[in-house]
Amino acid sequence: MSTQKPLVVVSGATGRQGGSVVKSLIAAGKYRIRAITRKPESDQAKALAAKGVEVFKADLAIKEDVKKALSGADIAFIVTNFWDSSIFPNNVAEEERQGKMIADVAKEVGLKWLLYSSLPETLDGGLNYKVVHFYGKNRVEKYIRTLGIPNVTFIYVSVYASNFGPFFPIINKDDGTSEFVIPLVKEDTVVEICDAETDTGPL
């Protein structure tokens, strides 16, 4: 019986979600980790390599790259980035293409467990909320459910706390408190917020 640790492939390993997953895997000490990045020469990638992580150069838009990256893996955490330059200008269609292609490769190579960073449906069921950066991920999730991969987990990461400031104005008031200004939200609306860099991995 093999005593080799399971191999986990992590996409977006130098980003917020993937980086958080890698950090948690390192802390657990139970896995071999292969971190996917397009820029293995980056400082973030070098820092991972220094911690014993296998840094693997691959582009999620290219099937052969994905196949090589997932080869021999037991588990994979996959996140695609709607805002990435590789997905512009056809954001929804290209993110959907990439996600479905990655899922097909995962099935082809015999991946045992796929963890996919998805987002909720916003159009069906009478919702009809037009949140375009949700579309591609949710369509990929529905597709993955049809493939018969042995184990699949879908992770919904909420609003990044780090987006406050760059995207939502912060108003410092005279009484020492601060307000975040969010458009199109009612006063009684509950907004789920997370720190993707620390909260994703422990999931």
Cβ atoms 56, 65 nearer than 8 A? no
pLDDT at 123 over 70: no
**Residue 163 — φ and ψ, nearest 5°?**
-80, -15
Distance CA 34, CA 21 (A): 11
pLDDT of residue 17: 79
3-state secondary structure of 114: strand
Q: How confident is the model at residue 202 (pLDDT cuts 50, 70, 90)?
A: low
Cβ atoms 79, 156 nearer than 8 A? no
pLDDT of residue 18: 85
In the 8-state DSSP scheme, what is residue 5? P
pLDDT tens digit sequence for 134-192? 678 888 899 999 999 999 999 887 665 666 666 677 788 899 998 777 766 677 777 66
pLDDT tens digit sequence for 50-80? 999 999 999 999 999 999 999 999 999 999 8
Any idea which of 15-24, 60-69, 89-98, 122-131 has the lowest mean pLDDT? Answer: 122-131
Class of domain 7-157: alpha beta
Q: Residue 90's Cα: distance from chain center in Å?
A: 19
- pTM (predicted TM-score): 0.78
Listed by start position, the domains of the chain span: 7-157, 159-195
pLDDT tens digit sequence for 16-40? 878 888 988 999 999 999 999 999 9
